[in-house]
């Protein structure tokens, strides 16, 4: 009968064969071991390193197979850190995964690395925690490096950290009927600022579109002497600051 061998999405070899079986663990041994040679074995298995037909198979395998098949690569924000997760279907000669990060999706720099499994015919899962993500948008990708220096890049994963570095400053203008201040934000975002008394009662508010950098604001509200709270809320952060009028 005609047997077609497909490995990791690649059409590796197609030929007439009898009772041929693909053994992933033996394929790994063949891929990294000496060349396959002819054998008198009446029913050789694919990937056992023997059999005249196997010589061509192993040669094709070494040309076509990827060192690592990446099943998934994802990321999420968790509190003040970003968590990256990825999974491989198998690994051949896999030295490591280099975790790359960028703030503009163009220029990536090395953040850290995670050691690979070397050779594995089973699925493997990995995680990496970015303890100090960039403010705003973080772009991540993996660079897989095998033992002989060959490398490949993954797709890009994007994680929004939001306004976690927002700074709120208040300088109330006495007698003007205004509460003035400024907001520094590392990203563009819609936000609402509320003026509250110590009991939480709202006395005034302002909705605005914050631009990356410093943003000045003025909220019309008449305040008596006392302690008040300025509260900023956006889809991703809440900042509160007390001030004295």
pLDDT at 160 over 90: no
Average pLDDT, the chain: 76
Helices (H) and strands (E) in the chain, counts: 2, 16
Residue among 216, 215, 217, 192 at smallest CA distance from 205: 192
* pLDDT at residue 172, as a whole number: 61
One domain, residues 91 and 143: yes
Residues 79, 146 share a domain: yes
Work out the pLDDT band at 46, boundaries 50, 70, 90.
very low
In percent, how much of the chain has pLDDT > 90?
A: 30
Last residue of a domain, one of 160, 189, 218: 160
Average pLDDT value for residue range 164-176: 71
Q: Are residues 150 and 100 in the same domain?
A: yes
Say yes or no: 23 and 74 in one domain: no
Cβ contacts of residue 55 below 8 Å, gap of 6+? 35, 36, 37, 38
Q: Indicate whether 60 and 90 sit together in one domain.
A: no
DSSP string computed for 55-70: HHHHHHHHHH--SEEE
| Tokens linked to 35 | 């060349």
pLDDT score of 188: 84
pLDDT in tens, 93-150: 899 999 999 988 889 999 999 999 999 888 999 999 999 888 778 899 999 999 988 8
Domain extent at residue 176: 167-244
Residues 56 and 97 grouped into a single domain: no
Total domains present in the chain? 3
């Amino acid at each position: 009968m005609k047997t077609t061998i497909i490995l990791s999405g690649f059409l590796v070899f197609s030929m007439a064969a009898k009772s041929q079986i693909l053994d992933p663990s033996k394929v790994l041994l063949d891929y990294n071991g000496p060349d396959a040679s002819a054998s008198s074995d009446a029913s050789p298995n694919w990937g056992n390193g023997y059999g005249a037909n196997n010589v061509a198979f192993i040669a094709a395998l070494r040309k076509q197979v990827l060192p690592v098949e990446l099943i998934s690569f994802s990321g999420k924000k968790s509190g003040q850190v970003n968590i990256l997760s990825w999974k491989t279907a198998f690994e051949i000669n896999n030295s490591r995964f280099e975790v790359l990060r960028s703030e503009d999706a163009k220029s990536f720099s090395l953040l850290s690395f995670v050691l690979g499994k070397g050779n594995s015919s089973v699925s493997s899962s990995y995680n990496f925690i970015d303890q100090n993500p960039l403010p705003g948008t973080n772009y991540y990708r993996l660079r897989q490096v095998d033992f002989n220096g060959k490398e490949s890049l993954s797709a890009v994963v994007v994680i929004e950290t939001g306004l976690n570095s927002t700074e709120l400053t208040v300088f109330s203008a006495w007698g003007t009927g205004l509460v003035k201040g400024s907001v520094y934000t590392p990203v563009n975002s819609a936000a609402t600022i509320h003026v509250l008394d110590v009991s939480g009662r709202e006395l005034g508010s302002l909705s605005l579109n914050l631009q990356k950098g410093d943003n000045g604001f003025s909220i019309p509200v008449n305040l008596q002497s006392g302690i008040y709270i300025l509260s900023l809320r956006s889809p991703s952060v809440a900042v509160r600051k007390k001030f004295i009028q």
